[in-house]
Amino acid sequence: MIAARVISNVLQDGKSLNTALDNALLSVESTKDKAFIQALCYGVCRYFYRLSFILNELLDKPIKDSEINALALVGLYQLNYMRVKQHAAVSETVLAAKKKPWAKSLVNALLRTYLRQQGVLEQKADENVAASVSHPVWLLRQIEIDWPERSSQILEANNRQPPMVLRVNLALNSRDQYLQSLSDHELAAKTVSFCESSLILSRPVPVELLPGFEQGHVSVQDTAAQLAASLLDVQVGQRVLDVCAAPGGKTVHILESQPHLKELVAIDIDEARLSRVQENLLRSNVSAQLIVGDAAKPKDWWDGQLFDRILLDAPCSALGVIRRHPDIKILRKPDDIKALQLLQKSILAATWPLLSSGGLLLYATCSILKQENEEQIMGFLAMHADAFEVPIDATWGNAAQRGRQILTGDSEMDGFYYALIKKS
pLDDT at 239: 98
Query: Tens of pLDDT along 73-100?
Result: 999 999 999 988 999 999 999 999 988 8
Hey, do 2-128 and 165-220 end up sharing a CATH topology, with the first three levels equal? no
pLDDT at 165: 98
CB 306 within 8 A of CB 354: yes
Opening angle at CA 140, ends 134 and 146, nearest 5: 145
Is the per-residue pLDDT at 233 higher than 90?
A: yes
- 265 DSSP assignment: E
| One-letter amino acid for residue 204 of the chain | P
pLDDT at 83: 86
Q: How far apart are CA 408 and CA 424, in angstroms?
A: 33
pLDDT at 98: 87
- Mean pLDDT value across residues 350-358: 98
- Which residues are designated catalytic? 366
CB 387 within 8 A of CB 423: yes
What is the H or E stretch that residue 292 is in?
strand 289-292
Q: Write the Ramachandran bin of 191: left for phi over 0, alpha for psi from -120 to 50, otherwise beta.
A: beta
CATH fold of the domain at 2-128: N-utilizing Substance Protein B Homolog; Chain A (1.10.940)
pLDDT mean across residues, the chain? 97
Q: Which CATH superfamily is domain 165-220 in?
A: Sun protein; domain 3 (3.30.70.1170)
Please report, for the chain, the start and end positions of each structural domain, with discontinuous segments joined by +.
2-128, 165-220, 223-423
pLDDT at 99: 86
Is the per-residue pLDDT at 191 higher than 90?
A: yes
Query: Tens of pLDDT along 99-145?
Result: 888 999 999 999 999 999 999 999 999 999 999 999 999 999 999 99
Query: Tens of pLDDT along 260-293?
Result: 999 999 999 999 999 999 999 999 999 999 999 9
pLDDT at 62: 93
Q: What is the CATH number of domain 223-423?
A: 3.40.50.150
Tell me how far the alpha carbon of residue 275 is from its chain's centroid: 19
- Mean pLDDT value across residues 328-340: 97
Long-range CB contact pairs, 86-95, < 8 A, 24+: 86/115, 90/115
| 356-373 residues labelled b (16+ CB within 10 A) or e (exposed) | eeebbbbbbbbbbbbbbb
Is the per-residue pLDDT at 257 higher than 90?
A: yes
Query: Tens of pLDDT along 145-184?
Result: 999 999 999 999 999 999 999 999 999 999 999 999 999 9
Is the per-residue pLDDT at 252 higher than 90?
A: yes
- Mean pLDDT value across residues 295-311: 97
Over 41-59, what HEC string results?
HHHHHHCHHHHHHHHHHHC
